[in-house]
């Protein structure tokens, strides 16, 4: 593993995994993963299909809990607290770690209602406040100009790229600390992908971003540091430039050169 | 036989089956309306039966049908939909869920006259409710439960898994997810099940005659005995009181069921267009 960068001195890690293993029944999907993710970085996770990227992401907001037979060993800390301790407020955790999925999933309601869905759950009722949230989140994802005149129309009518930016805006409305993205551009065209990546770079100022991608070039373009997972094992983690130019592990080199995966 | 020929014959046979089905359906409706419509008039709908139904109208049986059906639906819907929500969202598949589902399936296969007898023994005599709207609607609601559970479960299961993940990831509790995401999306399917049940409740005779009785006057409380249109039709026809009035009652029944179906489906279509 590469030595920690100077970021270490600035702040404690936002996320700290220590010997994190994950199982679905008897199948082990993560093998004792240890890594740190720093505040306000874009942390890329790459690896071939089935390497445990999404499982790692989903263990962060405990979405794996929804699957029968899911089990975790080791520690996974968010801002210093092990989120698998009994007594963790999972609803609160999921609000602080907003997640965007591979396929955009707008809920069958209006654009406006999609964005304020989380706010309403949390009990925000004042219409002025909700309107403010919608505008703010749509502006941050540069969707405002495109949809401001049809906030009341169904979110299902938006294009794929717009839907994915809507999903991102919907996350921002939660005012999270961390944004989890699970291959967010895998179904999008290059222009939509570019817009999302541009948005991520801007969001970095205010959020910690974890980006799972099966597109290594995307990690190269936007991630500050990158982790390479292979069959549930963390092969290598470090600054993206360094990993892409001089990978420490042979397997990383092979993967980046497209020899497998 | 070559496949092309086979295909032609299959298409022809299937088309013939469809024709027969449609013909039977239309013939029945036509037959009953032809016999029944001449009897229909405003006074037939608005007046109570006179002389056991030989004369007068069917007003009190219309009221009896509406009250009994509504009460049965009001009892069965929360029980059935609640069970379906529990089975799909609140528990993993296990022995208990299989037992519940198996029990519901069995309940669906029991002949309605057995429900009638059960209702008679439990509600009418043991619990002392007598022949009453209360006994009748409780018995009917038990009969409707399997349909409502099954259709609701199917409707809830057909809500995309993604919606659940999105809802949870946006910080909803399980209950918030159920009420704000699952139920609105599953509503058309759930309502379809309820309409099927309404049709079944309106048409049910055996279970009702044993439990709600066949009093011809307007009900005044849940403990009043009451006669539904189906029971009225049965008694008029069976005892040869008035075949004309029996057909008149049947025509009202058929028109009512058609009307309910058309109205609900058009409302559902509007709902689906608005929200999905």
* Domain assignment of residue B103, yes or no: yes
Q: Which of residues 150-169 of B touch A (CB under 8 A)?
A: 160, 162-169
pLDDT of residue A9: 52
Per-residue confidence (pLDDT) for residue B273, from 0 to 100 = 77
Q: How far apart are CA B216 and CA A206, in angstroms?
A: 74
The domain total for chain B is 1
Q: Taking a contact as any Cβ pair under 8 Å apart, which residues of chain B between 184 and 203 contact chain A?
A: 184-185
Q: Does A118 touch chain B (CB under 8 A)?
A: yes
Cβ contact A98–B170 (<8 Å): yes
pLDDT at B215: 92
DSSP string, chain A: -PPP-GGGGTS--SEEEEEEEEEETTEEEEEEEEEEE-TT-EEEEE-STTSSHHHHHHHHTTGGGGSTTEEEEEEEEETTEETTSTT--HHHHHHHEEEE-SS----SSBHHHHHTHHHHHTT---HHHHHHHHHHHHHHTT-HHHHGGGTTSBGGGS-HHHHHHHHHHHHHTT--SEEEEESTTTTS-HHHHHHHHHHHHHHTTT-EEEEE-S-HHHHHHH-SEEEEEETTEEEEEEEHHHHHHS-SSHHHHHHHTTS--
Taking 50 as the pLDDT cut, the residues of chain A under it are 1-5, 7
For A219-258, the pLDDT digits (tens) are 999 999 999 999 999 999 999 999 999 999 999 999 998 8
Residues in chain B where the model's pLDDT stays below 70 = 274-276
Structural domain that includes position B132: 59-228
Choices 3.40.50.300, 3.40.190.100, 3.40.50.1580, 3.40.1280.10: CATH for A11-105+177-256: 3.40.50.300
* pLDDT tens per residue, range B68-89: 999 999 999 999 999 999 999 9
Q: Which residue of B has its CA nearest to A181?
A: B169
Whether residue B275 lies within 8 A of chain A, CB to CB, comes out as yes
Cβ of A156: how many Cβ atoms within 10 Å? 15
Domain map of chain A by residue range?
11-105+177-256
Q: What is the pLDDT of residue A43?
A: 97
Angstroms from A167 CA to nearest CA on chain B:
9
Total residues belonging to chain B: 276
CATH of the domain at B208: 1.10.3720.10
pLDDT of B275: 61
Would B267 be classed as within a structural domain? no
Q: What is the pTM of this model?
A: 0.86
Which of B92, B160, B170 lies closest to A170 in CB terms?
A: B170
B168 vs A63, A154, A156: nearest CB: A63
* Residue B85 maps to a domain: yes
Nearest chain A residue (CA) to B163: A107
Q: Are A133 and A171 in contact (CB under 8 A)?
A: no
Is B51 strand, coil or helix?
Answer: helix
Residue B112 lies in a domain: yes
Q: Is B206 inside a domain boundary?
A: yes
């Amino acid at each position: 593993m590469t030595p920690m960068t100077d970021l270490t001195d600035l702040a404690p890690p936002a996320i700290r995994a220590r010997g994190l293993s994950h199982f679905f029944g008897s199948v082990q999907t993560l093998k004792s993963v240890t890594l740190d993710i720093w505040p306000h970085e874009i942390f890329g996770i790459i690896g071939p299909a089935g390497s445990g990227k999404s499982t790692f992401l989903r263990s962060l907001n405990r979405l794996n809990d929804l699957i029968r037979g899911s089990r975790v060993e080791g520690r996974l800390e968010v801002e210093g607290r092990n989120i698998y301790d009994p007594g963790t407020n999972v609803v609160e955790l999921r609000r602080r770690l907003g997640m965007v999925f591979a396929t955009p999933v707008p809920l069958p309601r209006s654009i406006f209602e999609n964005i304020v869905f989380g706010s309403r759950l949390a009990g925000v009722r004042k219409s002025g406040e909700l309107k403010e949230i919608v505008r703010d989140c749509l502006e941050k994802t540069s969707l405002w100009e495109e949809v401001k005149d049809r906030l009341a129309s169904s979110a299902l009518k938006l294009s794929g790229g717009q839907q994915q930016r809507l999903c991102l805006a919907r996350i921002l409305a939660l005012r999270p600390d961390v944004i989890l993205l699970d291959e967010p551009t895998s179904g999008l065209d290059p222009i939509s992908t570019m817009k999302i990546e541009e948005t991520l770079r801007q969001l970095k100022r205010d959020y910690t971003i974890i980006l799972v991608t099966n597109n290594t070039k995307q990690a190269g373009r936007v991630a500050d540091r990158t982790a390479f997972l292979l069959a549930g094992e963390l092969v290598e983690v470090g600054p993206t430039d360094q990993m892409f130019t001089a990978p420490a592990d042979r397997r990383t080199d092979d993967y980046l050169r497209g020899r497998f995966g | 036989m070559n496949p092309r020929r086979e295909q032609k014959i299959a298409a022809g046979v299937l088309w013939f089956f469809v024709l027969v089905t449609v013909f039977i359906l239309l013939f029945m409706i036509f037959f009953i309306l032809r016999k029944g419509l001449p009897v229909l008039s405003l006074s037939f709908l608005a007046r109570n039966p006179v002389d056991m139904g030989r004369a007068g109208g069917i007003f009190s049986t219309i009221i009896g049908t509406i009250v009994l059906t509504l009460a049965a639906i009001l009892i069965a819907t929360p029980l059935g939909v609640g069970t379906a929500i529990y089975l799909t969202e609140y528990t993993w598949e296990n022995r208990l869920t299989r037992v519940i589902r198996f029990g519901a399936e069995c309940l669906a296969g029991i002949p309605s006259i057995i429900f009638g007898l059960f209702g008679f023994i439990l509600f009418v005599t043991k619990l002392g409710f007598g022949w009453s709207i209360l006994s009748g609607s409780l018995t009917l609601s038990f009969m409707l439960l399997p349909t409502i559970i099954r259709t609701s479960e199917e409707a809830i299961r057909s809500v995309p898994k993604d919606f659940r993940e999105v809802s949870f990831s946006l910080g909803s509790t399980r209950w918030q997810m159920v009420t704000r995401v699952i139920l609105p999306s599953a509503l058309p399917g759930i309502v379809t099940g309820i309409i099927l049940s309404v049709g079944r409740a309106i048409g049910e005779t055996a279970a009702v005659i044993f439990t709600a009785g066949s009093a011809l006057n307007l009900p005044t409380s849940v403990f009043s005995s009451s006669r539904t249109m189906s029971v009225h039709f049965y008694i008029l026809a069976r005892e040869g009181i008035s075949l004309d009035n029996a057909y008149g009652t049947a025509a009202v029944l058929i028109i009512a069921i058609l009307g309910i179906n058309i109205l609900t489906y058009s409302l559902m279509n509007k709902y689906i267009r608005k929200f999905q």
